[in-house]
């Protein structure tokens, strides 16, 4: 990994610590500098050169400069853009808080990198069913086209909250004034 990426990362970390929020990666258009040997596994573990990245602060920092482009997932700074490998979704929703009931219900998820996301019009829940197994794979939009796979434990919590939808035979949950279908009644 080039040394100058760490200089850019240090300034981003300083900005984040000052409460400035997420960097505006969608406005940065640096030249593509190639691929970097960073991968995100299906379980949300980040790897560099095949070794798990143990520093949670570094993983969080990398997660703030992650962007999904038409050619794949990239880490982006104002000066560099490097493609990484993502096995499934870059994040995992590991916790869920519930407030209210029915259409007024708010479901707020915490990701493995510390993002808090309330499901609603800008952050939708979707469930993909495996073509051979019919096993559900639930996802939550986090930001800018990036998604979190909803962990099995959290999906079970969602299933406990499920209510019948408008279409006969479908179950789902409310959040942010929207109904999100989880699946068919068994």
pLDDT in tens, 36-63: 999 999 999 999 999 999 999 999 999 9
CA distances from 51 to 40, 48, 105 (A): 11, 5, 41
Bridge partner list, 136: 129
Maximal C-alpha separation, the chain: 57
Q: Is pTM beyond 0.75 here?
A: yes
Rounded Cα–Cα distance for residues 174 and 100 (Å): 10
Rounded Cα–Cα distance for residues 49 and 37 (Å): 5
pLDDT in tens, 101-135: 999 999 999 999 999 999 999 999 999 988 888 88
């Amino acid at each position: 990994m080039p040394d100058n990426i760490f200089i850019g990362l240090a300034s981003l970390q300083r900005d984040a610590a000052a409460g400035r929020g997420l960097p505006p990666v969608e406005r940065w258009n640096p030249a593509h500098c190639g691929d970097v040997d960073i991968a995100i596994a299906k379980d949300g573990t980040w790897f560099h050169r095949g070794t798990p990245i143990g520093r949670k602060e570094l993983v969080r920092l990398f997660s703030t400069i992650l962007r999904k482009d038409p050619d794949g997932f990239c880490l982006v700074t104002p000066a560099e853009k490097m493609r990484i490998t993502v096995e499934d979704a870059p994040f995992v929703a590991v916790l869920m808080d519930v407030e209210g009931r029915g259409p007024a219900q708010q479901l707020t998820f915490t990701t493995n990198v510390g993002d808090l996301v309330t499901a609603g019009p800008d952050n939708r829940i979707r469930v993909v069913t495996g073509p051979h197994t019919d096993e559900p794979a639930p996802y939550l939009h986090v930001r800018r086209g990036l998604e979190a796979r909803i962990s099995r434990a959290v999906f079970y919590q969602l299933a406990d909250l499920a209510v019948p939808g408008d279409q006969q035979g479908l179950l789902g949950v409310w959040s942010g004034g929207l109904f999100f279908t989880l699946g068919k009644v068994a």
